[in-house]
């Protein structure tokens, strides 16, 4: 049975990032996500203000159950991919550029104003895109309620991409794992390496 490794990374108030936990399971399953998030709470992960991820319905429900009161930020990169999948190829660069102007604003007030201007503009040329933006607005702009210095770390899953790619590369080399524990051991080794590289870079 095919399963996925999930990794949770936290961003502290001072901007420091650290791996909070990881596990193997069905990423679409609400029960798995609820169990995983509760395991983080057991390890004293508390006071969570924002959870950022792709739009998995099971994960969203689990967040509401385990981290009540926390906002949810939809990954802007994954959202953009979803948007562009319904846009003709010749218009994709233009649409992407227009939407990106929302994230180039200096503060929450200007972000909100630009979001309205962008959706108004796209409603004339790409009404389906404008509707997607309207529906996603609260979750897409949740980052704006936090200090600007953290925005790049909390508005997409991009900081995790390098780790995920390295884990995937290693698992592809192995191919088939005898059990979940073997897969977790490999993920643990990769995460330790990534942590050591980050610390070495900070010391330079």
Bridge partners of residue 7, in order along the sequence: 22
Band (202; pLDDT cuts 50, 70, 90): very low
Residue 204's pLDDT is what? 45
| Of 95 and 55, the one with more pLDDT | 95
| Of 57 and 40, the one with more pLDDT | 40
Residue 116's pLDDT is what? 98
- Three-point CA angle 52, 55, 61, nearest 5°: 80
The pairing of strands 17-25 and 4-11 is antiparallel
Q: What mean pLDDT do residues 130-149 have?
A: 96
Answer yes or no: is pLDDT of 107 > 50.
yes
pTM of the model: 0.78
Tell me the per-residue pLDDT of 184-196, one tens digit each, with 9 for 90 and over.
Answer: 777 777 777 665 5
Bridge partners of residue 22, in order along the sequence: 7
Rounded Cα gap, residues 190 and 195, in angstroms:
9
Q: What mean pLDDT do residues 95-124 have?
A: 97
Backbone angles phi, psi at 18, to 5 degrees: -150, 150
Residue 51 has which token pair? 């959870």
Nearest to 37 by CA among 21, 57, 15: 21
Band (22; pLDDT cuts 50, 70, 90): confident
Answer yes or no: is pLDDT of 72 > 80.
yes
Answer yes or no: is pLDDT of 26 > 80.
no
Helix (H, G, I), strand (E, B) or coil at 72: strand
Mean pLDDT of the chain: 86
Nearest to 130 by CA among 113, 143, 117: 117
Tell me the per-residue pLDDT of 148-201, one tens digit each, with 9 for 90 and over.
Answer: 999 998 999 876 777 777 777 777 766 767 677 777 777 777 777 665 555 544
Answer yes or no: is pLDDT of 131 > 60.
yes
- What is 4-74+157-203's CATH topology? Nucleotidyltransferase; domain 5 (3.30.420)
Band (128; pLDDT cuts 50, 70, 90): very high
Instruction: Please give the full DSSP string across 3-31, using - where no structure is assigned.
Output: -EEEEEEEE-TTS-EEEEEEEEE-TT-HH
Residue 1's pLDDT is what? 55
79-110: burial string, b at 16+ Cβ within 10 Å, e else: bbeebbeebeeeeeeebeebbeebbebeeeee
Residue 199's pLDDT is what? 52
| Of 137 and 46, the one with more pLDDT | 137
Residue 73 is classified by DSSP as E
Q: Contact 73/155 with Cβ under 8 angstroms?
A: yes
Rounded Cα gap, residues 170 and 36, in angstroms:
23
């Amino acid at each position: 049975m095919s399963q996925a490794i999930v990794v949770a990374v936290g961003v502290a108030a001072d901007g420091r990032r650290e791996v909070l936990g990881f596990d193997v399971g069905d990423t679409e399953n609400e029960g798995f996500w609820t169990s995983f998030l509760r395991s983080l709470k057991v390890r004293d992960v508390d006071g969570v203000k924002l959870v950022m991820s792709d739009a998995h319905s099971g994960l969203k429900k689990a967040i509401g159950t385990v981290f009540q009161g926390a906002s949810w930020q939809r990954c802007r990169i994954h959202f953009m991919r979803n948007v562009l999948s319904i846009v003709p190829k010749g218009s994709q660069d233009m649409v992407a550029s227009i939407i990106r102007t929302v994230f180039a604003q200096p503060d929450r007030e200007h972000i909100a104003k630009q979001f309205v201007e962008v959706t108004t503009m796209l409603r004339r040329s790409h009404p389906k895109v404008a509707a997607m933006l309207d529906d996603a607005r609260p979750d897409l702009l949740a980052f704006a309620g936090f200090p600007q210095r953290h925005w790049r770390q909390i508005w997409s899953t991009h900081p995790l991409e390098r780790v995920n790619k390295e884990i995937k590369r290693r698992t592809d080399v192995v191919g088939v794992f005898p059990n979940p524990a073997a897969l977790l051991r490999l993920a643990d080794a990769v995460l330790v390496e990534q942590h050591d590289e980050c610390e070495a870079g900070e010391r330079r």
